[in-house]
Amino acid sequence: MRRSVPPLEPPGSRVTAQNGTGGERPLPCNSGDATASPLFFRFATPMTDDPRELRQRLRELRRALPAAEQRQAALAVARRLEDWPPWTSAVRIAGYWACGGELDPAPLLERARAAGRSVYLPVLTGEYSLHFAPSLPGAPLRRNRFKIPEPDVSPLEWLEPSRLDLVLTPLVAFDRTGMRLGMGGGFYDRAFAFLRDPAYRGHRPMLLGLGYEFQQTAELVRQAWDVPLAAAVTEAALYVFAEGSASATV
């Protein structure tokens, strides 16, 4: 059965720089209780129907966050997931290398390793393919063609996306139906296109979006190739999506 995947972006299109987490990025990459969500009150989500404009504005807001506030939000997200069953039961967890003010999954990945779970990071191969390689503390890294660090291991050690349990997914925006706006490259939508296949009966990884509360926005435009999130977590709340709606735990 043919699976719907997002079209490749031709040279000179809106995607000007991709990496292992997808889409346009600034180069090079540098790697308290937030229940009241001060970030939400400081930054109002831009109201626009244009994905490119929304992406640009939210990326600016992310990059404007002081490092201390980014760290505070990352720790708040880690605390929020401490007792969440999908997190506590996951054995093979994929993260990402945070860039441009993205919500940093490092505290979560540190806790996963401490609990004896397997951690993986994205590896960009070819033009638009995404794979996942084991990530161990102190293991060698290499920079892909967009200067994003990724594990320097043999492809024989890569894990197929379908074998992951939980995928910590970067995002630019998300809505209350679980739709995700990424960086524009479609890497995650391609890697997890099998989740959209009604005939697929294999293991189903859970896609968990990580972001700041101000990245929640009005309903996003749904494309045929979009793979929705199962849940999203911010410094303020955990959102679980089901049948086009969300239940939030604050």
pLDDT of residue 144: 87
Scanning 81-229, the segments in alpha helix (DSSP H) are 85-89, 106-114, 187-191
Average pLDDT over residues 109-121: 97
Average pLDDT over residues 132-141: 94
218 pLDDT above the threshold of 90: no
140 CB burial (10 A radius; 0-12, 13-18, 19+): exposed
15 pLDDT above the threshold of 90: no
What are the residues whose beta carbons fall under 8 Å from the beta carbon of 199, sequence distance 6 or more?
Answer: 1
2 pLDDT above the threshold of 50: no
pLDDT digits (tens, 9 = 90+) for 62-83: 999 999 999 999 999 999 999 9
Average pLDDT over residues 109-113: 97
| Cβ atoms of 195 and 217 closer than 8 Å | no
Scanning the chain, the segments in alpha helix (DSSP H) are 38-42, 51-64, 67-80, 85-89, 106-114, 187-191
Residue 126's pLDDT band (cuts 50, 70, 90): confident
Residue 158: how many other CB atoms lie within 10 Å: 16
Mean pLDDT of the chain: 83
Strands 166-170 and 92-94, how do they pair?
A: parallel
What are the residues whose beta carbons fall under 8 Å from the beta carbon of 143, sequence distance 6 or more?
Answer: 149, 150
